Structure 1
């Protein structure tokens, strides 16, 4: 499968590398300039591209940039792109980083806003795991205790294709429903960055409360900012789980 990845940070870069290792043809773009992009692409074992070409001759485009950068993409980026090309949104909205986006502040589901901003349907995936989990937590299909990843969207065929990519990355897949239901794996929900297996993730979808999620998201950030040094993966994971005392992991 041919995949274009926009963004080569901790999430986008890891996705690109895992997809290449799985045998997919991957090209990447970031906004850091051609020299930096070329070096990053070499590190990941993929090909560098430019913004005008990253969406051409591909089956899937994975957007892995901060929410605030979505609206900065070229307005006509997808104008001539076939509707058969699947667009995946991995972003998570954090006001301290992305600024106040009024519609999201007022409760609009994040990926619904992304789809409306781009004028293009999206599949929400690769957003509910920590970067460390994504890079090191993958296991072969059928392995006991395999971590599960959420996927949401309105196109069942597209979700199945992305589910196969998630499996290639080393994770089980749990369908959270339509794009409007993707709030169930946004920041501030029990499904977000708590490393659950498939059965636990399904339960977490049911336990999430949309109205409480923004406050819990911000509470997690406040706690993280109190650390005087970079917290470990285990500390971040425990912090996220502690927001939900009755979550499937029992924290």
Structure 2
């Protein structure tokens, strides 16, 4: 049984991870729940972990994995549950129901196409530097993906730090609020939050030290959307 604050925090973390691919910062959690200090967030996080709703990954700052959701947030209902009995001493392992399930079990190699600016734009990405293994469940089976190394600190408010590797799903369109790879005037590429404003496109940083940059819509080309992040320590 979750308290209202615990449920609100779990819902906020789940929503942000669905939208951005990375968990929110403790400051963002504190502001979202209107708490005065981060110590209250620590207590709520610990309570959610003890109840089995989230898992904190060891030695990774702010790395949170959602294990399950309560029924009120879209999790499975316990009604009608029946225990499954397996006869025999060594049951055969279950096979995935389809190819997509099978793909989600294994890591896939993605090309790292170089560095992209999370700051001021840098030169457009054009060649493969190396490859990185990515969990299959992070990827869509019907889309092409690639990886980029982050250079700069303009997206730290979204949990994206200098040196992180972001996983990008190729796309030519985006919804307002999406974090995208944007090619500017066919010359420079940057990772920013996307906002379409009439005949202009605003590329918004997630760090107040950087101003939002606005360009004519025909000067910006979306090359992909953020779907995941890998951090090395």
TM-score normalised by the chain length of structure 1: 0.25
Q: Which has the higher contact order (CA 8 A, sep 6+)?
A: 2
Larger Cα-atom Rg: 2
TM-score normalised by the chain length of structure 2: 0.26
Counting strand residues as a fraction of each chain, which structure ranks higher?
Answer: 2
